[in-house]
Amino acid sequence: SKIDRTSGFRVRPGVYVAYEDLMRYPTEIRAMHITERVYRQAVRLLTCPKKAPEAAAADGTKQIRIPPRKNKNGSLVQGATLSSNGFIDSCVSWLHQASFLNVILVLVIVYMVCIVLFEYLLMGLIALNYNVWDSECCSGVDYEKLGQSGNFEAVFELSWTTFSTVGYGTVSVPADQDCQLVRYTLAIEAFMGILFSSICGAIFFSKIVRLHTQAHVTFSSAACLQYGDAVTDPKLDVFVRNERHNEDLIGRFANDEIHVNFPVLEMRCINDRAKHGGGEIIDARISCTVSAIEEIKQETDAEDQYAINLLRDHGNESEDDGLSNGTIMKRTFSDLSVTPDTHPYLSKGIWYFRHTLNHESPLLKKAVKQRIDDLLGWPADLDSPEKIRDCFSENVEEILITFKGISSLTADNVFLKHSYLLSDIYIGWKFAGLVYLVKNGDRSHTGVDLDPSLIHDIVPVLGEAHEPLGSRDLLFTPQHSQVDEDRE
């Protein structure tokens, strides 16, 4: 059957993967060492390669891996479609974002193109010198058969040895021949070769420096939102607990008008180099910002009104530009408070950071925040995945996350950015465990380790309703869908 957004996860525009194919097999849901995981996957592929995954446990819980979104920046397709406007800047930006393999492939192609172009130019100049001035300007060319493949091979060797400045000398320009045009062309080619080698060295040097300044941290592809009794951390309910002396508030608790626990949005990240010496990140900090597009009313003076009328006269006014109703569309940024936002020593641990959906959360609609402020708690009638999803502001574009810290290896500041869309939030789900026990042969010492392959896995919260994966994508507006496709 055809897989669409109602029954599958979109990996890129127009391509979906069935949610059943994203479920972990029962033998692969727990955290384990990479060698054990590879062994279990091999056994599973050999024994039941076409069998659909079953539920992870008898109680009906399922563990699903949410694939991380692919960043199209740095791809070969983007490198081939760079605009002519600011072409050099676009190329430099692409070279920094692309992988080493893509950069090497592009540089090899540019290298060969330059050599072939100079080859054909030299072949034409050699033929011109021979036909006009009777000068034999290349030692390896058969002048009785100009234009044949054997001659092109000799000129190709002359071109690449000059461009690369290797200079074998097996094919060269004789010193007793009058070949000024060929000599000048070879001098220019040698200069271009030196310039190309310098650019290649600068590119790889800058990419290596960028590796040292980039934080090797992996964020989870999903953000889990827990609500109701699933929220057990009392520190997340400071706002309610500080108002427990309010008699009106106590009456609302008794009448089930408000819920004790606010919904909590949870995200996590791990250090990719935790198992390597010197891969720790010291004094790590996370700052979160919500990007939103809001409609703002604007008063127009006489000059602005004249410009608006001029645009109308020329037919340049669109239906949604806000000229007719005095409003403009503006992108706003609001701080998103998370706890904890600092980590003194990020090594082999998991960093969970959470945001509480209270009356100060920029993710919620203004009417919902006002209602929370009036009730001094989360409304009990909004305690369901569908109602919580409807509480999100339709103006929110994405959640921007900035990670900063100090590398213990280089003592340099490291940086990383990440973002979540509203479609990345899974209500009623929680993260799967990453920690497993490590025992020595004599079992005298037991330690813990992380299984990074489970960083993107989520499981439903027991005892609370969770959002069905097959229907959640239908809840978003076309504006969010377009932003989603632009990210991919």
pLDDT in tens, 251-268: 444 445 555 578 999 999
3-state secondary structure of 319: coil
* Contact by Cβ (8 Å): 96, 207: yes
> Could you give the C-alpha distances from 393 to 204, 322, 355, in angstroms and in order?
44, 20, 16
| Residue 14 pLDDT exceeds 60 | yes
- Binned at pLDDT 50, 70 and 90, residue 312 comes out as low
Q: Any residues with CB less than 8 A from the CB of 358 and at least 6 apart, and which? A: 239, 262, 372, 378
Task: Provide the b/e sequence for 188-218 (b: ≥16 CB within 10 Å).
Answer: ebbeebeebeeeeeebeeebeeeeeeebbbb
Higher pLDDT, 110 or 94: 110
Q: Tell me what the pLDDT averaged over the chain comes to.
A: 77
pLDDT tens track for 195-240: 999 999 998 998 888 888 888 899 999 999 998 876 754 444 444 4
Q: Can you give the pLDDT at residue 300?
A: 53
Q: What is the dihedral of CA 308, 314, 315, 317, to 10 degrees?
A: -20
Euclidean distance between CA atoms 294 and 330, whole angstroms:
5
For the segment 22-33, the average pLDDT, to the nearest whole number, is 82
Which of helix, strand or coil describes residue 415? strand
At residue 292, the pLDDT reads 92
Cα R_g (the chain), whole angstroms: 31
Q: Does 269 have pLDDT greater than 70?
A: yes
Query: Could you tell me the pTM of the whole model?
Result: 0.69
Least confident of 80-84, 379-383, 420-424: 80-84
Per-residue pLDDT at 368: 92
Is residue 271 a contact partner of residue 280, using CB atoms and an 8 Å limit? yes
Q: Can you list the positions of beta strands (E) in 19-77?
A: 64-65
The amino acid at residue 160 is W
Range in 6-20, 211-225, 286-300, 382-396 with the lowest mean pLDDT: 6-20
Between CA 61 and CA 283 the distance in angstroms is 37
Q: Is the peptide bond before 340 cis (omega within 30 degrees of 0)?
A: yes
For residues 237 and 421, the model is more confident at: 421
| Separation CA 282–CA 128 (nearest Å) | 67
pLDDT digits (tens, 9 = 90+) for 298-307: 655 555 555 5
| Rounded CA separation 274/290 (Å) | 29
Q: For position 298, what pLDDT does the model report? A: 60
Residue 288 phi, psi (nearest 5) = -115, 140
Please state the φ and ψ torsions of residue 79, each to the nearest 5 degrees.
-65, -30
> How confident is the model at residue 316, as a pLDDT?
46
Question: What SS3 class is residue 30?
Answer: coil
The pLDDT, as a whole number, for residue 60 is 45
- pLDDT-derived band at 118 (thresholds 50, 70, 90) equals very high
User: Which residues of 298-367 form beta strands (DSSP E)?
Assistant: 327-336, 342-346, 350-356
166 contact partners, CB below 8 Å, separation of at least 6: 160
pLDDT at 441 over 70: no
Rounded to an integer, the average pLDDT of 433-439 is 83
Distance (Å, rounded) from C-alpha 261 to C-alpha 232?
8
Q: Provide the 10 A C-beta neighbour count for residue 37.
A: 17
Longest dimension (CA), the chain: 109
Per this entry, what is the length of the chain?
488
For the chain, how are helix, strand and coil distributed in percent, rounded to 5? 40, 25, 35
pLDDT of residue 112: 95
